[in-house]
Chain A
């Protein structure tokens, strides 16, 4: 869910920025072109220069939604990957060094070094590196990327705090992609007019697939202007497998404290299929005002077997997630509200309730939700102040009450083009 406001088609509209004056005309012209010409819609990467870009997000959060020695569990959902909520206190939520080098013959190299801080511990890694080439045809463009990178099926799968409206990860990203997707594979994107068709083949190491069992994905996307409204509509599908997949968010499935097992130790083996659709709309109404609306639906089916240290059972899980966001941008101020919602339907075969409950997989009528309000103030080309308030209702409690937890965070987004 990279912000549309930071999309290349929507340059930052600072008050003294000369682009501010001409952007509406550019948008209008682009809109007209998109509906009246048959020329190929050139995607933004064609003109992307070689560059070295630093993006970061840091902030302070007033409270954690889980205690330090406990796991964050959404009833009924098998979580994994990097699905961990931010802790209270200050943290570097995201630090990325993004580099791109264009080569002769429409070849290019890309890499991204990322630093994320979770549970008070930071991790620096070479998150993405890829090699690509694009082929220009008369009315279309084909782009092929090979390497360790992220899926293009939905921007939600590629969440980063420094690029997103909110410091809190989308609930859909947490539940469906283990925070964010990263895997080794090949992507082919074909652009024809306002249509984009993508096919991807992955190693299968990114949650919810595992163990290099392979994963394929495909999507169809329209991105253009309809009546002056920038419209981005897509549907996607992916299928893969998982083998002995374990929730490794908290290392080995139990804490190293004296007292508490903190995470489920259930292992899942079976088929994983996901699909989704999204609609992203935005419109620059005038020099000062832009609105946006986003709707997204995701669906996953996991069909296989779960095992803990002793027991096992068949599982057929369907998970549906919905995200709805509205935003307005007035001069250098941006306001967002986002609601997310999950519905979990688990069908077990020959299972005891002790297995299901101890692994946090029992959910009868609880729909996890998260409501977020955000405010950005971009007072400088490089700096943005971010404030957000979150109402999180993703956990159930032993007393049987579904509690909504409130927290806020204050943060700073900084991005700088080094080269």
Chain B
């Protein structure tokens, strides 16, 4: 009887072990990423690395290599300004991640602009475009401003100058051929819409995804120094709170990609306490941010959180270029707002009633600030600022 039971026990144990091994031991873990055909096409054109999400491309202006190539020529061509003095590249310099290093640049006619030129890296991932316009959802909308607006004048292609500018391109056989290739189904002449669609296509290709931080994401754990990793942790911690507004792969909560549902797109704008004119949260009267469009007093000083990609290269900072260095930017946030001691814009931004609740101020050591700056410098993408894909074609 005992032998029978021991035999039974052995059989049961053997059966159980066999069940475990047959069903479990042979089963492996795996991760598969499938890409839909639409997204695959976009990724191929943009040559996107795996760690970058597929950007949203509007159906009305699908990406093609011909439009991208045409857009690249137009971007660098001063003939696109009415007086042929400036091109897009005048304020968007590749070596500076397509910023210009100037606090507030001049337009083609010498008109003083009130805002700092933004870098163009990864603008394709922003949910809105420009510093404080919640209506510019596509580059095709936004591009009208620098090209066609008369206040401020940037390229100055006003209605009065439009035909003259278009004629320059129609008289250039190379452009005629490029436009024909970019818009093969169109039998009309060169139009401003075609120019804008081509420029938008080119700017959408300006994707920065090869910085040391990207290499770190891609698995090279030596790509960041220990100081930069420490800075990354501080950036994502509850003390500095940077990540609340500068979140995700593009370091901005103003974000969308091809997967973002239309009802899930965020349109964040914040008052960061840079000014507090008159104590009511106002900013200098020549630029009050979103308020200038909405006329809602609660929107005074509301600007979009910028992407921090290549931020080392895009100084000076803030919408008006009023802060010169990254250290001063961090000190601004550590203080909980900036103090303007005198003048017509005097006021303490820390006390602004419109300031975002996320900006409470914090105590940071020099070592911590150094670490955060070191991390931000890891977002500098040497390949992006030297890539021939984005360089001036007239210099080739």
Contacts and interface: CB of A to CB of B under 8 A. Distances in A.
A367 interface: yes
A326 interface: yes
Interface stretch (B32-40, B178-186, B340-348): B32-40
Contacts of A229: 8, 12
Contacts of A294: 16
B161 interface: no
Nearest to B48: A352
Chain A: interface size category = 35 or more
A309 B31 contact: no
A382 interface: no
B8 A324 contact: no
Interface string A363-398: 111110000000000000000000000000000001
B29 A367 contact: yes
For B9, B221, B259, which residue has the most chain A Cβ atoms within 10 angstroms? B259
A342 B230 CA distance: 33
Contact of B33 (A75, A320, A343, A353): A353
Nearest to B51: A354
A279 B18 CA distance: 13
Contact of A347 (B27, B29, B32, B39): B32
A312 B35 CA distance: 13
Interface in A219-238: 227-229
A339 B234 CA distance: 39
A293 interface: yes
A295 B23 CA distance: 11
Interface string B92-119: 0000000000000000000000000000
B30 A365 contact: yes
Nearest to B238: A256
B19 A295 contact: yes
Contacts of B230: 259
A320 B34 contact: no
Contacts of B19: 295, 324
A322 B19 CA distance: 10
B172 interface: no
Interface string B186-214: 00000000000000000000000000000
A366 B221 CA distance: 19
Contact of A343 (B12, B24, B248, B257): B24
Contact of A354 (B39, B217, B253): B217
A313 B257 CA distance: 11
Nearest to A294: B16
Contact of A310 (B35, B253, B261): B253
Contacts of A258: 234, 237-240
A83 to B, nearest CB: 18
A361 B33 CA distance: 12
Contacts of A295: 16, 19-20
A190 interface: no
A119 to B, nearest CB: 17
Interface in B217-237: 217-218, 221, 230, 233-234, 236-237
Contacts of A291: 9
A409 interface: no
B258 interface: yes
Nearest to A322: B24
A243 B259 CA distance: 18
Interface string B361-376: 0000000000000000
B260 interface: yes
A350 B248 contact: no
Given A320-B27, A350-B259, A283 B237 contact: no
Given A281-B12, A351-B53, 13 more contacts: A254-B238, A283-B9, A285-B5, A293-B12, A309-B247, A310-B253, A324-B16, A324-B17, A343-B27, A345-B29, A354-B51, A354-B249, A399-B221
Closest 10 CB pairs of A and B: A310-B248, A322-B24, A343-B27, A259-B233, A258-B239, A354-B51, A310-B255, A352-B53, A324-B20, A259-B237
11 contacts: A257-B238, A258-B239, A293-B13, A310-B257, A347-B34, A354-B217, A355-B53, A356-B31, A364-B31, A365-B29, A399-B221
